Structure 1
Amino acid sequence: MLDVFSRWYKDRFSDPHAVTLTILLVFGFSVVFFFGSLLAPLLAAIVIAYLLDWPVSSLQRWGVNRTGAAIIVLLAFVGFTVLALLGLVPTVVKQGANFIRELPYMLNQTQGYLLTLPEKYPEMVDAEMVSTLVDNVRDKLISSGEAIVSFSLGSLINIAALLVYCILVPLLVFFMLKDKTELTQSVTRFLPENRQLATQVWVEMNSQIINYIRGKVVEILIVGSVSYVAFAVLDLRYSALLAVLVGLSVLIPFIGAAAVTVPVALVGVFQWGFTSEFLYLMIAYGVIQALDGNVLVPVLFSEAVNLHPVAIIVAVLVFGGVWGFWGIFFAIPLATLVKAVVNAWPSDKAKAAESLASAE
């Protein structure tokens, strides 16, 4: 057994570039795993810096220096974000409060409907099963209400942390945009010399991350806006709240779309029942999801969609379970990182070709 492991180790790690790549990957994953919560402002700043690097570079091509371009783009981004939040957050909070207030009525209506099922379908639905289901749902809602009521001191701490992040993140973004070249060179000085494979993987991943972050932001805005227009035209209640949920659901491939379907369908049923309006709502929602998955995603993520859906779902489950929100957000880039490492890793055929070339 030891001989087999020894031969495998020599075959796979005889190349010093492969060893360097392995060390860098283990170090990076370990830092994020153990210090992910502390690095949250840095990760957020990196995401925003990737998003804003293109307009900064565009202003540079028009003759604006790097510092001035960073200031202009960052101020425009902060102003747009503040205006968007001031216009959206109050509406979403108000609709969320109304939804919570009407939740008991929705529960009673659901309970009344479910209790009629054993009479209509006695052979298919058991009355005891329905009662158990209703009791479980009521217990879950009561426990959720208690959790919301007890959300006091912790919320104040979170608000204080959020205020600190609102100061730290823009500062980090500004210096990342302004001193991009200097920061990159500073990091490169600490890397080992045998980093050919690491550089190859980084070049591929850098372009992937840039395209992914920009594409994901565009996808959230398009899907959320189109959903709001569709919900508003149909006069669906809580249209802004549901549109925000639909827009944010694209952060979790496949799973997010399936999960957000439940509140959209429930609100439609409570508002209209099983009528033609509810059918129109579900058709419109299905068209939005179909266009997102079959048109928008292939256009925005032409390289990422080459990953098999099973690989994407596994990446969401694994990296989301390890790193929470950031693992879910970067699930596709991390999956492509694994793919890039596998493709860049020296194979036996490549080693044989190098040995033959050196012998000749």
Structure 2
Amino acid sequence: MLKIFRSWIDRYFSDEEAVLLVVLIAASLVVLLTMGMVLAPMIAGIIIAFLMQGVVVRLREWGAPHWLAVTLTFILLVAMLASILLILLPVIWQQSARFLAEMPRMLGEWQEILLLLPENYPKLVTHAQVEDLMSATTAELGRLGQGLVSFSVSSLPMLVAVLVYFVLVPILVFFFLKDSTLIVNWVAGFLPHKRPVMSKIWHEMNQQIANYVRGKAIEILIVGAASYVVFALLGVNYAVLLAIAVGLSVVIPYIGAAVVTLPVAMIGFFQWGWSSEFFYLMLAYGVIQALDGNVLVPLLFSEAVNLHPVAIIMAVLVFGGLWGFWGVFFAIPLATLVKAILYAWPIGVHEANMASSGGDTAEQD
């Protein structure tokens, strides 16, 4: 047993860079798991800097100096944040208030529909089962209401934190964009000068993750905007809330589209019932999802590393459980990073050297 374990160590950890890579990965995981909330503004700043770096590069290609490109990009970021804070959030708040006010009516209609099931299908559904389901639904809504009340009572610290984010994160983004080269060189100064494996992983993942983040943000904006236009033209209630939900659903591959279908269908059903408008809504929603999966995603992520659907779902579950929304958002690039590390890992260095020396000896003979 000891011999097998020693052989495994020699095979995967005979190279010094492999040991250093394990230490760096372990240290990064410990920092993120223990200080993730404290470092959240910096992590958000790095993510947004990845998003805006493309604008800086494009402005520099057009002949703008670095300081002007960074300044214009920062002004664009501030304008976007101001639009979200002053235009989008009030609309979301109003539609959320309307939705919560209509929840009792929707619940009553849902109860009437469920009570028809025992009459039409007495062998499959009983009145007791319907009553149990309605009791559980009412209890869940009661807990949700209590949570909203407690949230409104204790929301002042969260509002302060949001204001801190709106002030601190843009400042961090500005300095990340302005001094990105200096920061990368400073971090690299702590690493060994000869690091072929880490350099290979870095060069492979840097551009890929940046392209993925920017592509995913563009996909969210396009799908959300298209959904809002369609919902508004059809006259769907809570068009902004549903459009935001559909836009954010693209963050989670396969699962998001399936989950967000339920609220879209429920809102349409409670508004129109089994009418032609409801079927038009579901047809339009299906077209949006089909265009997103078959046209938009191949255009935005044509150079992305192919991952098996099982690997993607496992990445979403694992990283989402560890880091919440950002873990879900970065599930695919993190899974790609794991794949790149596994493929670039130095394996059997001593064995390769022995084989090489053996080949040289054979040539000399």
TM-score by length of 2: 0.94
Structure 2: distance between partners of 1:198 and 1:308: 25
Unaligned stretches of 5+ in structure 2? 361-365
Is the Cα contact below 8 Å between 1:20 and 1:198 reproduced in 2? no
**Residue 60 in structure 1 maps to residue 49 in structure 2:** no
Instruction: Name the structure 1 match of 2:115.
Output: 115
Is the Cα contact below 8 Å between 2:51 and 2:213 reproduced in 1? yes
Structure 2: distance between partners of 1:16 and 1:243: 51
Map Cα deviations across residues 62-97 of structure 1 (whole Å, 9 max, x no partner).
343322221111112211331244332222211111
Map Cα deviations across residues 253-296 of structure 1 (whole Å, 9 max, x no partner).
22221211111111011011122211111111111112212221
Structure 2: distance between partners of 1:257 and 1:351: 49
**Residue 124 in structure 1 maps to residue 124 in structure 2:** yes
Unaligned stretches of 5+ in structure 1? none
Structure 2: distance between partners of 1:164 and 1:87: 19
**Residue 31 in structure 1 maps to residue 31 in structure 2:** yes
Map Cα deviations across residues 95-120 of structure 1 (whole Å, 9 max, x no partner).
11100000011001100110111001
**Residue 196 in structure 1 maps to residue 196 in structure 2:** yes
Residues 130 and 304 from structure 1, CA distance in 2 versus in 1: closer, same or farther, beyond 3 angstroms?
farther
Aligned residues: 359
Structure 2: distance between partners of 1:224 and 1:85: 17
Task: Report the identity percentage.
Answer: 53
Map Cα deviations across residues 293-331 of structure 1 (whole Å, 9 max, x no partner).
222112212243611111111000001101112211110
Instruction: Name the structure 2 match of 1:157.
Output: 157
Secondary structure of the residue that 1:29 maps to in structure 2? helix
> Which range moves more in the overlay, 161-170 or 58-67?
58-67
Cα deviation for residue 220 of structure 1 reads 0.4
Secondary structure of the residue that 2:64 maps to in structure 1? coil
Structure 2: distance between partners of 1:253 and 1:203: 26
Map Cα deviations across residues 224-264 of structure 1 (whole Å, 9 max, x no partner).
01111111121111111100111111122222212111111
Residues 354 and 274 from structure 1, CA distance in 2 versus in 1: closer, same or farther, beyond 3 angstroms?
farther
Instruction: Name the structure 1 match of 2:328.
Output: 328
Instruction: Name the structure 2 match of 1:167.
Output: 167
**Residue 209 in structure 1 maps to residue 196 in structure 2:** no
- 2:50 partner letter: Y
Is the Cα contact below 8 Å between 1:20 and 1:192 reproduced in 2? no
> Which range moves more in the overlay, 238-247 or 53-62?
53-62
Root mean square deviation, CA, Å: 1.7
Instruction: Name the structure 2 match of 1:297.
Output: 297
- Taking the TM superposition and a 5 Å limit, the aligned residue runs for 1:42-61 are 42-61=42-61
Is the Cα contact below 8 Å between 2:305 and 2:336 reproduced in 1? no
Map Cα deviations across residues 23-57 of structure 1 (whole Å, 9 max, x no partner).
22222222112111111111111111111112212
Structure 1: distance between partners of 2:276 and 2:345: 56
Structure 1: distance between partners of 2:126 and 2:305: 44
- Taking the TM superposition and a 5 Å limit, the aligned residue runs for 1:299-318 are 299-304=299-304, 306-318=306-318
Instruction: Name the structure 1 match of 2:249.
Output: 249
Structure 2: distance between partners of 1:174 and 1:98: 38
Instruction: Name the structure 2 match of 1:227.
Output: 227
Secondary structure of the residue that 2:170 maps to in structure 1? helix
Secondary structure of the residue that 2:154 maps to in structure 1? helix
Structure 1: distance between partners of 2:126 and 2:236: 33
Is the Cα contact below 8 Å between 2:224 and 2:246 reproduced in 1? yes
Secondary structure of the residue that 1:125 maps to in structure 2? coil
Structure 2: distance between partners of 1:61 and 1:260: 40
- 1:343 partner letter: Y
- 1:47 partner letter: I
- Structure 1 stretches of 4+ with a deviation exceeding 6 A read none
> Which range moves more in the overlay, 306-315 or 66-75?
66-75
Residues 176 and 358 from structure 1, CA distance in 2 versus in 1: closer, same or farther, beyond 3 angstroms?
farther
Residues 150 and 84 from structure 1, CA distance in 2 versus in 1: closer, same or farther, beyond 3 angstroms?
closer
Secondary structure of the residue that 1:317 maps to in structure 2? helix
Residues 354 and 3 from structure 1, CA distance in 2 versus in 1: closer, same or farther, beyond 3 angstroms?
closer
- 2:300 partner letter: L
Instruction: Name the structure 1 match of 2:259.
Output: 259
Instruction: Name the structure 1 match of 2:238.
Output: 238
Structure 1: distance between partners of 2:255 and 2:80: 30
Is the Cα contact below 8 Å between 1:298 and 1:305 reproduced in 2? no
> Which range moves more in the overlay, 195-204 or 56-65?
56-65
Instruction: Name the structure 1 match of 2:77.
Output: 77
Is the Cα contact below 8 Å between 1:268 and 1:281 reproduced in 2? yes
**Residue 281 in structure 1 maps to residue 281 in structure 2:** yes
Structure 1: distance between partners of 2:59 and 2:292: 31
Cα deviation for residue 356 of structure 1 reads 3.5
Instruction: Name the structure 2 match of 1:3.
Output: 3
Cα deviation for residue 177 of structure 1 reads 0.8
**Residue 135 in structure 1 maps to residue 135 in structure 2:** yes
- 2:320 partner letter: G
Instruction: Name the structure 1 match of 2:363.
Output: none
Cα deviation for residue 13 of structure 1 reads 0.4
Cα deviation for residue 184 of structure 1 reads 0.9
Secondary structure of the residue that 1:151 maps to in structure 2? helix
- 1:41 partner letter: P
